[in-house]
Each structure stands twice: as C-alpha cells, then as structure tokens.
C-alpha cells in the first residue's frame, strides 16, 4: 500500500483486514508481519521559516532532502539523526517520519537533546483511521496533552505519522575535535563527564575502546571554538595530552556506528546512566566482541556473540538494551525491546489498545 | 447562578462570564461539574479514612483552614475543597490515592499553587493533595549531570542545591522562587532562557508517578531516552490528570562563564520583529530575546525607573560565554540592530548595567499590577506573525476599551499580553475575559496555540475546541482513560466539560444535567 494522501491513508487503515507493516525508508531493517504500508508518497516540505527556526514536512520526506533544504539556509537538524544503513546493513532512504517514530538522535543528543526534543507537533492516523493532530508549529506549546511527543519513539505502534513539525537550528561555523588516547573505558567515561560538566559546551563525547580514542567535539563561531578547545584541553590535562583536530568529520562515523559495521555478531544498543556504562559492559563479559560509547557513555553500541542473552548477563540496570540486528530466532527469544516493569507494560498495553484496538500497526514490534 | 449546585458561587459567576463569550449562544447549565452529593455526604468517613493513612495534622478539614487552598494564582476563581492533605512521602501519597479511589473522590494535586490557569483550583467535592512537605534533594550526581528531588521542592532551590558546584537547572519560570517542580512538570513550564535550553519536558529524565489507584510507577531514570513508549512525554504537561508526581530526575547543566544583555529600542513593532528575525537568521542563538511594548515600558519606567527609552518596541537580547565570546556575539547583534535604525542601542558594560537592563523586564508584571488589575495570557504565535498580532491586539484594545501591555519571549513567539481592567467596576472582568478569548483565538488563527507555558487548567478549558478537533481531544482523553480510568484526577480541567461529560459520568461521577457532544 502506498497512500497518496493522509485521507487515503486513513481510508486504508480503516479498511485494513489484517496487520500493516509501516515502512518509511526501511533502513532500520525491521521485518514485520503484515502488508507493507509505505509513507513514501506522503512527501514534501509543507512550510519552512528559517527566521522562526521552524520546518514542517510530510512524514515520507527523505531525510536527505530535509538536510539539503536546511543546509541551503545555513541551518540543520541539531539532533543529527544517525543513518542506520551502514550499521544494520540495509538499503533505502531514511525518512523524516521514520526518524521521529524511532526518536533517532546522534552524538549531539548529549548537549542539545533528542529528536523528540525538537518535535513541535505532528499529524498522524491512528489504528482506527482517525486523523489526529497534536502540538503545532510554534516553539512553546502546552495546550493539551503532548500526544505528538508520545509518537516519537512509538515506532508507529500508536499511529502512522503523516506530518511532523520541527525546531531547527543554525548550522555552525566551525567544529573541532579533541582526541585523547590510551584511556580505558572507565577513565574515558570520567574524562567525558568532566568535559561535559564544564561550561565550554561539548557537543559530542564518544569513546572507541578498540582504537583507544576518546573524542570530544566543540562547535560554534570560529574564535569561540578555538578558545573552548584550548580551555577544555587544559581542563583535562590530568588525563593526558589532547590532540586538537580541526573539523568534525569523524563524527559522522561515530554517529553511524561505522566501526561496528559489517562485523559478525548480534548488535545491541544500550541506553544507560553514563557512568554505569563500563560496568554494564563488563557484566556482559566474554560475549562482547566490540563496544562503542557515545553520549559521554550513556549510549553504547555492543557487538556480541550471536544468540547470546545479553540482557540476562547484565541483569538490572538504569536503562535498557535494544536488539538492533540479529537472526529471527534471536529476536524471537529475547524480543527487540527491553521488557518493561509490570506497571509500565500495563500502561503501554493500555495505550496501544486505545490507539490501535485491533493491534494491526507494526504488530509484535513493541510487545 | 444558573443550573446545578456547584457549591462555588463566586467561581461559577466568574466562570459564567468566561464561558458565555466563547461562542456558545445558550447559557451553560454549569461551569464546574455538579458537586457529587454522595461524596459530600460521606465527608466524615473520607476524612477519617485519610487520617488512617496520614498523621492527623496532615489532613485539613476545618472549613476555615481549607480556604487556604481555595484557589491558585488565578484568584478570580475560588472554591474550597472537601479537605486538603499534605503527605510527606510517596507511600503516603499512594495511601491517600488508594482511599480516594475506593471512595470515588476527585483529587486535585497541588504544588505551590502558582498556576495562572486555575490548574490547582479545587472543586467542592475534591481532596487537594499538596506535595509541599516533600521537598528533599534525594541525589545529586555531577558526573551524570542530574539531580533527583521530591517534587514539592521549589524550582529555584533545585538550582540552589547545585550552584556551588557550578551547575544550574535550566527552566526558569518568573515564579521560580515560589513554584514547585511538581507544578513545573504538570504544566511543562518554560522560562526566559528556554530559547536555548528548552522547557521542562526537555530537562526531565525521570519521575516517580503515583497513579489514582495507588500504584507507584518509576518512569525514565538517569539514562537519556525511553526504552519503550516515551511516557514522560505525556506525563509532563498533563496538569495533574494522569498521576501524582512525587519525585523527579532533572537534568542539570554547567553554568556558562558569563552572560550579558543588550537593549535595543525601535519605533515600530515591525522593525523590532525584523530585528529578531535577522538575529536568528544570522546563526546566533541568544539565550533570551525579550520584548516590551510602549504601554509596558511606560508602566515599568514609572515603577522601577530602569532608564528605558520611550519607544514602541524594546528588545533585550542576552548571549552567553566567555567575555570575548560575548563581545563577538554582541558585535554581530549590534551590527544587525544598527542596520534597522534603532532609537537606542545600549550594551551592558558590567554586571550593574546588565542588572539595570533586566530590572525593567523583571518588574514589568509588578509594574502593570500597580496601575490596574490585569489578566495575563500566554498564547504563542509563529514569530513571523508578531507585528500583525501586535497590531491586531492594539485595534482590539480600542474595540474593547481596555488597555493592554505586551511583554514576552520574542525569540519563541510566546506572547504575554497583560489586559488591564478594574475588578471593582461592573462588567470590566467580563469584558477583559472576552478580550482575552479574542486574543487567544487570534493566536490560533495565525498558526499558534492557546497557551505556551501556563497551561489550560480551567481558564482556557472551554477554548480547547478552537485549537483542536473532536478527534484530537478524543486522543488526549484516551490517554487519560489509560492512566486514570475512573477520571478522578483533576477531572474538571483541560477538557471542556461537555466533551468529558460521558467519561466522568461513566466513571461513577455525578451525571451531567445536559450532556452534549461537540
Ligand atoms: C508571577 C508569576 C509568574 C509566572 N511566570 C511563569 C513563567 O515564566 N513560565 C511559566 O511557565 N509559568 C509561569 N507562571 C505559572 C506557574 O508558576 C507555573 O505554571 C508553575 O509551574 C506552577 O507550579 P506550582 O508548583 O505552583 O503548581 P500548582 O499551581 O500548585 O499546580 C499547577 C498544576 O500542576 C498540578 N500538579 C501540582 N502538583 C502536582 C503533582 N505532584 N503531580 C501531578 N500534578 C501536579 C496541579 O493539579 C495543577 O494542575 C507564573 C506564575 C506567576 C504567579
């Protein structure tokens, strides 16, 4: 199915006889039961006001188009959504709806916020075929429950996004990267915490244990970047000398988990209290083949032995582990998403039953 | 008063005025849900049961004392509650809610009572649940940059707990000395610096939420995103309708090295609007862009003597960083401002001058309060519509015969028109409210919303249909159904009564007299 308009989408959902697998760009490699429902034709910029930092686009609009449109006006999506294609090994073109539905956020999340923080409003069609709008196109809006933000991270299980409005930010004049070498994960997380806790606005903090590199990004006006890079290097001198690279090129690779791309094993994404990161990984023990830390340690990409029970090995922690790439049997055994507490799971079920009483939208994806 | 006994005459009269101007030709039979006589009849038993789960002095049922809870900062509407309770722990909150759930008593959560929307106003048959006793800091973690507090803690004292180490909690409502994190979360409050740092929802990592049946849910934590549905999204801004938030994990940020404002005056709103647009387009992101119009400047000058120029539009733009970074950004801003021929361009040379620039802005509400009673709205508009909306407000001011001053966060389009009226003059409040409703409708028409940070509460409840279609409201109410199936938490707020009538009745509340759909 490939609805040409929101109205047509609503008709299709209303008339659906069975499960529908909502597809944006299909780049996250989620294979689901049901008839594919593509948002590709719901595409295009509805409104772009650079002076108001506001962009409204239809959900099927390719991320690339959005980024090009913004770049022409010297602006960007500050939450720098990752591109999953390399890491998951998928094809297709990421869409804005997919980015919001999965709350996809890159390294800058640690400073400016996640995709959901830049969402000003949304239109969507629920599992019954109702067209619903929430939020709007203004920066501040507390009128009624923030249903739009609930859609961010709902992975299409509460409704199919048709339009999203976003806050955008100015692009930066210059970026620099501080690289510290030879730190173990615990020291790396400590150094990242120290940098992120300084007034010099670090916009990326990542650690690659294999290369032994800890990277910190600084962005802004040229003179300011030079000044802050020097201040941070001095601030962190107890951890060793930092090399200052001009530019932020390596952050695309960090964002996309490039270092783990194409490597054998299951792929997990962990969200943790940053300082817990190294111990959580240590608890996983020998099943871990490789790890990458982002968000100052709060986001961990883990490559593990195939079929290994990572969640079982880690036990209880402040955060969650999402299975991002594995064989069907592994998904079947562990589920994609971290099981929730009984109370939260009951709320989730309740919401799904309300928004999609037939349980047809992305069936089985979120429990 | 027409129709059923709400038990709150003064409030009902005032609300009648409010409601009669929003396009409902007929008079409404009631403005608050009818008082549940079953609840009133068993007051003694409810109070006794509450005393079983709380220390005796934490249950207030003496009518003289419950008056302290009859309103919030929207003081035109008042109604003493059945009783008020002041639990001291999450467990006590759960105990209270369990009792109220079993007895079918509505509960209105309360933080510091500074809501400007009547969010914390009771109904006569409700229990006010105040979290003021719960104000401890539970955990401070500088490495992971968060603080965990009980929600009765005031906004400013959250920053107070971490500032010695160079950190702060970013959302800064002007009421921050008094308002509690509880209300901030419930209203998703903003502040002057949210252009850069976001509002409450962008700085909230986790909550302990007690639901109406007494179940305690831990949602979120010290990690940075949700593992499943992002329930915090709807809890933040839910105006006490989904659960009682007793603890919160808040993001704290390192303080910038410094901040400095510049004051820019223009002869027209259009040009000031252009200046705001040009600054944003240039790639600079100030932490704050504040706007004041002539009536506001005049009132403020008379009151605070900040030395503002008399002009049509005054901007205060603040940037952050090291001294050199501030100089560089202000130099760019000054170039942009100069190109538009300002009547005044004043940069703070030191902390003293910075304080003077902010003095007038910070005294604006107080200054307006000196000259008259006022009603403060907070509709938000796309910033490109600023000049048009300001002009229309000026025209409407003449039509309604009431003065209005505008002081607001221009960077994000969050207006704060202050309509001046005389509470002692018959008909003035009604005219003021009609004028207010007209302004909010205008905000929606130009692509904005009814409220940018104060919330809907009871004040804008009956205007919700202006912004939302039936299906939109239905989706919001469906979420409440899941968290609070009995519709006992703050049920008289946010949703127009006739829209929520069936749900409130089905859940066991008193049946409405004339139910209708929208
Ligand atoms: C002079 C003045 C200036 C202001 N400036 C600003 C401003 O700049 N920005 C801004 O955003 N607001 C502002 N406000 C409005 C107000 O201060 C905010 O809405 C504030 O967040 C309310 O907090 P409170 O603790 O006083 O909440 P209350 O007034 O007690 O309650 C507000 C709402 O929260 C609910 N609630 C309270 N506690 C809980 C809880 N524990 N769990 C669930 N729900 C709960 C209540 O039921 C009610 O609906 C201002 C108010 C005044 C009087």
Rounded distance, CA B27 to CA B462, Å? Answer: 13
The percent of chain B in helix, strand and coil, each rounded to the nearest 5, is 40, 20, 40
Could you tell me if A299 lies within 8 Å of chain B, comparing CB atoms?
Answer: yes
Per residue in B93-139, pLDDT tens? 999 999 999 999 999 999 999 999 999 999 999 999 999 999 999 99
Number of H helices, E strands in chain B: 18, 18
User: Out of A76-85, B69-78, B148-157, B194-203, which region has the weakest mean confidence (pLDDT)?
Assistant: B69-78
For strands A119-126 and A174-181, give the pairing.
unpaired
Query: Is B11 a residue whose pLDDT tops 70?
Result: no
Residue B21 confidence (pLDDT) above 80:
no
pLDDT at A278 over 50: yes
Q: For B156-210, how does the pLDDT look when each residue is reduced to its tens digit (9 = 90+)?
A: 999 999 999 999 999 999 999 999 999 999 999 998 888 899 999 999 999 999 9
From the list A50, A132, A144, which residue is nearest B281 (CB)?
A50
SS3 B314: strand
Summarised one tens digit per residue, pLDDT across range B399-432 is 999 999 999 888 889 999 999 999 899 999 889 9
Residue B339 has pLDDT above 70, yes or no: yes
- Ranges A126-135, A178-187, A241-250: which has the least confidence: A241-250
Q: What is the rounded CA–CA span in Å between residue B104 and residue A224?
A: 60
Contacts of A105 in chain B (CB under 8 A): 225
pLDDT band at B24 (very low <50, low <70, confident <90, very high): very low
Transcribe A89-108 into DSSP letters. I--S--BHHHHHHTT---TT
Q: How far apart are CA A241 and CA A255, in angstroms?
A: 24
- Does B27 have pLDDT greater than 70? no
pLDDT, residue B3, reads 35
Query: What b-and-e string marks burial along B163-186, b requiring 16 or more CB atoms within 10 Å of the CB?
Result: eeebbbbbbbbbbbebbbbbbbbb
The SS3 call for residue A156 is: coil
Q: Ligand 1 center to residue B74 CA distance, Å?
A: 11
What is residue A334's predicted lDDT score, i.e. its pLDDT?
96
Q: Give yes or no for residue A367 having a pLDDT over 80.
A: no
Cβ contact B78:B71 at 8 Å: yes
pLDDT of residue B408: 87
pLDDT at B76: 82
Give A140's contacts in chain B (Cβ within 8 Å).
190, 194, 199, 380, 409, 412-414, 452-453
Does the beta carbon of B452 sit less than 6 angstroms from any atom of ligand 1? no
Q: How confident is the model at residue B508 (pLDDT cuts 50, 70, 90)?
A: low
Tokens coding B490: 């703050």
As a whole number of angstroms, the distance between CA B290 and CA B173 comes to 14
Alpha carbon distance A44, A77 (integer Å)? 16
Residue B107 DSSP SS3: strand
Answer whether B175 contacts ligand 1 (Cβ < 6 A).
yes
CB of A133 within 8 A of CB of A169?
no
What is the overall mean pLDDT for chain A? 96
List of chain A residues whose C-beta atoms are within 8 Å of the C-beta of residue B282: 170
Tell me: the pLDDT tens digits for B476-494?
A: 999 999 999 999 999 999 9
The minimal CB distance from A227 to the residues B236, B324, B451 is found for B324
DSSP letters of B398-410? HHHT--EEEEEEG
Secondary structure (3-state) at A292: strand
pLDDT at B28 over 60: no
The H or E element spanning position B216 is strand B216-220
| Token digits of residue B10 | 């003064």
Cβ atoms of residues B228 and A348 within 8 Å: yes
Question: Tell me, what's the pLDDT at B99?
Answer: 98
pLDDT of B105 reads 97
CB atoms within 10 A of CB A30: 20
Q: How confident is the model at residue B14 (pLDDT cuts 50, 70, 90)?
A: very low
Residue with tokens 């996004």: A161
Which range among A144-158, B223-237, B302-316 shows the weakest confidence by mean pLDDT?
Answer: B302-316
CB B113 within 8 A of CB B72: yes
What would you measure as the largest C-alpha separation in chain B, in angstroms? 71
Residue contacts between A and B (CB atoms, under 8 Å): 267
Q: Which of B215, B237, B236 is nearest to A341 (CA)?
A: B215
Alpha carbon of A332: minimum distance to chain B alpha carbons (Å): 17
Quick one: pLDDT band at residue B153, thresholds 50, 70, 90? very high
A72 touches chain B (CB under 8 A): no
User: What is the arithmetic mean of pLDDT over A80-86?
Assistant: 94
Cβ atoms of residues A229 and A204 within 8 Å = no
Nearest residue by C-alpha to atom 19 in ligand 1: B115
How much is the pTM? 0.95
């Amino acid at each position: 199915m490939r609805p040409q308009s929101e109205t047509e989408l609503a008709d299709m959902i209303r008339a659906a006889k069975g499960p529908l697998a909502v597809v944006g760009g299909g780049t996250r490699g989620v294979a689901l039961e049901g008839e594919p429902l593509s948002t590709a034709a719901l595409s295009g910029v509805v409104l772009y006001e650079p002076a108001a930092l506001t962009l409204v686009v239809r959900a099927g609009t390719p991320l690339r188009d959005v980024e090009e449109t913004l770049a022409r006006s010297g602006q960007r999506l500050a939450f720098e959504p990752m591109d999953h294609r390399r890491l998951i090994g998928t094809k297709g073109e990421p869409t804005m709806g997919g980015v919001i539905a999965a709350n996809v956020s890159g390294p800058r999340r640690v400073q400016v916020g996640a995709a959901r923080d830049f969402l000003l409003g949304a239109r969507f069609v629920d599992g019954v075929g109702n067209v619903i709008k929430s939020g709007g196109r203004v920066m501040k809006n507390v009128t009624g429950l923030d249903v739009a933000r609930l859609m961010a991270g709902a992975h299409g299980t509460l409704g199919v996004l048709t339009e999203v409005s976003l806050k955008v930010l100015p692009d930066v004049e210059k970026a620099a990267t501080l690289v510290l070498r030879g730190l173990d994960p615990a020291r790396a997380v400590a150094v990242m915490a120290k940098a992120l806790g300084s007034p010099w606005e670090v916009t990326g903090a990542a650690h690659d244990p294999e290369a032994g590199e800890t990277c910190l990004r600084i962005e802004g006006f040229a003179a300011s970047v030079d000044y802050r890079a020097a201040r941070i290097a001095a601030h962190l001198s107890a951890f060793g000398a930092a090399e200052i690279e001009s530019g932020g090129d390596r952050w695309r690779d960090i964002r996309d988990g490039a270092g783990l791309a194409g490597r054998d094993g299951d792929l997990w994404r962990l969200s943790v209290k940053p300082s817990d990161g190294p111990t959580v990984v240590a608890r996983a023990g020998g099943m871990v083949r490789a790890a990458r830390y982002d968000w100052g340690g709060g986001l961990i990409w883990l490559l593990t032995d195939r079929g290994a029970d990572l969640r079982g090995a880690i036990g209880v922690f402040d955060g969650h582990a999402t299975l991002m790439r594995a064989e069907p049997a592994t998904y079947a055994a562990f589920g994609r998403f971290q099981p929730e507490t009984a109370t939260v799971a009951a709320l989730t079920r309740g919401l799904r039953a309300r928004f999609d009483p037939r349980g047809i939208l992305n069936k089985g994806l979120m429990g | 008063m027409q129709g059923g006994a709400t038990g709150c005459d003064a409030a009902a009269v005032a609300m009648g005025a409010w409601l009669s101007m929003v396009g409902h030709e007929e008079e409404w039979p009631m403005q608050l849900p009818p008082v549940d006589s079953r609840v009133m009849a068993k007051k003694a038993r409810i109070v006794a049961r509450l005393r079983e789960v709380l220390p005796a002095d934490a249950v207030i049922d003496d009518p003289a004392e419950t008056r302290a809870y009859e309103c919030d900062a929207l003081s035109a509407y008042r109604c003493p509650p059945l009783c008020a309770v002041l639990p001291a722990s999450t467990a006590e909150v759960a105990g209270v809610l369990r009792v109220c759930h079993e007895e079918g008593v509505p509960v209105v959560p309360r933080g510091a009572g500074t809501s400007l929307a009547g969010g914390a106003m009771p109904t006569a048959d409700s229990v006010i649940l105040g979290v003021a006793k719960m104000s401890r800091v539970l955990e401070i973690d500088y490495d992971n940059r968060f603080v965990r507090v009980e929600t009765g803690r005031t906004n400013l004292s959250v920053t107070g707990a971490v500032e010695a180490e160079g950190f702060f909690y970013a959302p800064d409502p002007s009421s921050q000395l008094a308002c509690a994190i509880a209300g901030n979360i419930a209203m998703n409050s903003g502040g002057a610096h949210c252009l850069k740092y976001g509002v409450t929802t962008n700085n909230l990592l986790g909550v302990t939420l007690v639901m109406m049946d007494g179940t305690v849910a831990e949602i979120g934590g010290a990690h940075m995103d949700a593992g499943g549905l992002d329930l915090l999204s709807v809890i933040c801004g839910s105006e006490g309708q989904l659960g009682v938030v007793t603890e919160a994990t808040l993001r704290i940020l390192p303080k910038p090295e410094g901040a400095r404002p510049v004051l820019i005056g223009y002869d027209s709103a259009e040009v000031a609007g252009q200046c705001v647009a040009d600054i944003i387009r240039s790639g600079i992101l100030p932490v704050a862009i504040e706007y004041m119009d002539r009536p506001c400047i005049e009132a403020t000058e008379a009151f605070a003597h900040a030395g503002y120029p008399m002009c049509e539009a005054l901007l205060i733009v603040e940037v952050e960083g090291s001294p050199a970074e501030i100089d560089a950004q202000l130099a760019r801003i000054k170039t942009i401002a100069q190109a538009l021929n300002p009547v005044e361009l004043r940069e703070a040379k030191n902390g003293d001058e910075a304080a003077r620039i902010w003095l007038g802005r910070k005294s604006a509400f107080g200054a307006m309060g000196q000259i008259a009673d006022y009603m403060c709205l907070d509709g938000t508009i796309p910033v490109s519509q600023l000049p048009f909306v300001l002009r229309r407000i000026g025209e409407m001011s003449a039509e309604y015969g009431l003065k209005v001053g505008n002081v607001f966060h221009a960077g994000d389009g969050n207006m704060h028109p202050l309509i001046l009226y005389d509470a002692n003059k018959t008909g003035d409040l009604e005219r003021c409210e009609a004028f207010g409703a007209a302004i909010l409708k205008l905000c929606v028409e130009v692509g904005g919303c009814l409220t940018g940070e104060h919330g809907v509460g009871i004040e804008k409840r009956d205007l919700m249909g202006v912004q939302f279609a039936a299906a939109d409201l239905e989706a919001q109410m469906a979420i409440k159904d899941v968290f609070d199936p009995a519709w006992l938490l703050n049920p008289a707020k946010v949703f127009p009564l006739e829209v929520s009538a069936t749900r409130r009745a089905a859940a066991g509340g008193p049946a409405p007299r004339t139910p209708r759909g929208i």
